[in-house]
Structure 1
Amino acid sequence: MRKSPEIKHCELCQREAPLTFHHLIPRKVHRRPRFKKQYSTEELQQGIWLCYPCHRAVHKFHDEMTLGQELNSLEKLLADPEVLRHISWVKKQKIRQ
């Protein structure tokens, strides 16, 4: 289990809410030769803290390979049109504890 985050807000939508850890390179692809060769163990373990709605949305919009190859940083996720549309919507929603 991951340590509780020092930050208290979602790194995508910036709302204060219960957070989950999102691996920037999904664990499902960690064993693939391409990822094992290209990234160190530490790089594969890097991630960001997201609220439940944002975490679900990221995985709903993109498959693991796309996330691992193209959207493997916070900056890249924030530049994605689907994620931006979700952030705009979720900021208007009530936070469920």
Structure 2
Amino acid sequence: MKAPEHCELCNRVVDLTFHHLIPRKVHRRAHFQKRYDREQLNSGIWVCRLCHRGLHRLYDEMTLAREFSTLERIRADEAIARHIAWCAKQKARRH
């Protein structure tokens, strides 16, 4: 899948990274192996580094995997929404 032009969270046009909705660190755990197929485990969103870093600073991998496995759930979280709003105000730079 080709990356979009803008971050799927803050909408800035910057270099993007791929965020697995279910972090790779937990893919081998039985809970996730039983409930998700390979395609679901490898699904994700394209986000800027600021948004990506913020997601992983706010929540550990297990919490991200269990509570924030969809874009809708990520956007609905108050702490993440505050971080995304801050990111959206930052100057966009491409490298």
| TM-score of the two chains, using structure 1 as the length reference | 0.93
1:20 aligns to what?
Answer: 17
User: Paired residue for 2:88, among 64, 88, 91?
Assistant: 91
Secondary structure at 1:49 match in 2: strand
State how many pairs are aligned.
94
Identity among equivalent pairs (%): 54
Deviations 1:35-85 (A, max 9, x none): 000100110000000000000000000001111011000000000111100
Which among 17, 20, 33 is matched to residue 30 of structure 2?
Answer: 33
How much does 1:4 deviate?
A: 4.2
Distance 1:58 1:89 in 2: 13
5+ unaligned residues in a row in structure 2: which ranges?
none
- The one-letter amino acid paired with 2:30 is P
> What's the Cα RMSD here?
1.0
Matching of residues 1-97 of structure 1 within 5 Å: 4-5=2-3, 7-97=4-94
1:96 deviates by: 2.7
Q: Which amino acid aligns with 1:27?
A: R
SS at match of 1:48: strand
CA distance in structure 1 between the partners assigned to 2:69 and 2:58 by the alignment:
14
The 4+ residue runs of structure 1 with deviation greater than 2 A are none
Unaligned runs of 5+ in 1: none
Letter in 1 for 2:52: H
Could you give the per-residue CA deviations for residues 10-34 of structure 1, whole angstroms, max 9, x where no partner exists? 0000111100000000000000000
